[in-house]
Amino acid sequence: MDFAQVTKHLKSTRMKCVHNTTRVMNAFQQFLAVLALLLAPVLAHAASYQYFRLGNKTDAQTKPDAGIAMMGGGTDLDEAFRWLCHKTNGGDFLVLRATGDDNYNSYVKNLCPLNSVATLIIPDRQAAQDPQVAEIIRRAEAIFIAGGDQANYIRGWMGTPVEDALNANIAAGKPIGGTSAGLAVLGEFIYGALKDKPDDNDLASADVLSNPYAERVTLIRGFLMIPLLENLITDSHFAKRDRMGRTLVFLARIMQDGWSNSPREIAIDEKSAVLVEPDGSATIVGSRMGAYFIRPTRPPAVCQARKPLAFRNISVYKVPAGGHFDLRSWKADGGTAYSLSVEKGKIESTQATHALY
């Protein structure tokens, strides 16, 4: 074989190697593409909702009893959780969160004889659109919405199948509860915290009494449809974090903005809870200041941007643990009645000690 033939043979061999290498690479790329398609649902699920279940894998077939467990945050109250658990009649208890973990599962399971306790973490609107998420909610006998940041619930769940499933459960007479941020979203009117930044301090009374239209006063309505909580806003950590002033601003804004002529408020202190039966009768439990049932008797005199609030003759029932309140008649058994007024952004009380709480 002469030099020209050798050169030709080497070129032919190299071309075959290149062609074979290209075929192998193309096949490998096709394999990766198929693998990506196969894994896409798994990866999407992994990046979407999370579901942790403790107890029986098969759902119970029980009929729950209606009720509302409204918890003010802080240390969880065993008594309130037992009450909510009892309403399931041995069914399946579901905790909803936007962030966090499944630490409620073992706590609730140890308190109550239940078929199962599960935590469903729904971090965003993508997760809330998943049909399986709504199905998990619909199958539960009781729902508990954990604390955190209510802005996550409003941004992520409102207007999605999650909202629809929750309202379907409520309409079916299933019990529901919430603490802190979970309590905040139970009423018809909601402080949404939509303008709060991650490093912001709590929205304080002093921040808004001087300006009821401060940017962070973001009020929302119409998320959940709980009949006994219509025309009502809630607040948590109440006396502990001195939230009376901001609550009065919320009520004033609801009236000033034309949402209601006579809104009401249930404000609950830390380590306290209000347990509401289907007939509207409520029992207050816990170890701190209890609950405050607040209703304005007239519109605010001044509720404008950058002007101190003027708001007079606001009726308050303070009901400690062991007391009762009727949400339908708006009357207390075992509580203290007094009035509050706001003049130039300062709150005045008719209590003998002038105490706000």
The pLDDT tens digits of the residues spanning 181-236 come to: 999 999 999 999 999 998 899 999 999 999 999 999 999 999 999 999 999 999 99
CATH superfamily of domain region 69-76+94-99+120-349: Class I glutamine amidotransferase (GATase) domain (3.40.50.880)
- Is 351 within 8 Å of 357 (Cβ atoms)? no
Q: What is the pLDDT of residue 199?
A: 86
CA distance 120 to 283: 29
Phi and psi of 84, rounded to 5°?
A: -65, -40
- Please give the mean pLDDT across all residues of the chain: 90
Based on its alpha-carbon atoms, the radius of gyration of the chain, rounded to whole angstroms, reads 28
- The DSSP element (H or E) to which 318 belongs, if any, is strand 311-319
Domain ranges of the chain: 1-47, 69-76+94-99+120-349
323 to each of 169, 275, 318, 333, how far by Cα in Å? Answer: 29, 11, 9, 6
Phi and psi of 28, rounded to 5°?
A: -65, -40
* 326-330 average pLDDT score: 97
Q: What is the pLDDT of residue 10?
A: 40
- Is 248 within 8 Å of 340 (Cβ atoms)? yes
* 310-335 average pLDDT score: 96
**One-letter identity of residue 161:** P
Tell me: pLDDT of 39 over 80: no
CA distance 67 to 174: 7
- As beta bridge partners, residue 348 has 341
Q: What is the pLDDT of residue 1?
A: 53
Q: Tens digits of per-residue pLDDT, 47-104? A: 599 999 999 999 999 999 999 999 999 999 999 999 999 999 999 999 999 999 999 9
Cα torsion 212, 213, 214, 220: sign: positive
- As beta bridge partners, residue 316 has 294, 338
CA atoms within 13 A on the CB side of 87: 26
Write the burial class of residue 135 (CB in 10 Å: 0-12 exposed, 13-18 middle, 19+ buried): exposed
Whole-structure pTM value:
0.86
CA distance 300 to 70: 28
Q: Tens digits of per-residue pLDDT, 256-291? A: 999 999 999 999 999 999 999 999 999 999 999 999
Tell me: pLDDT of 11 over 60: no
Residues in the chain: 357
Q: Tens digits of per-residue pLDDT, 165-182? A: 999 999 999 999 999 999
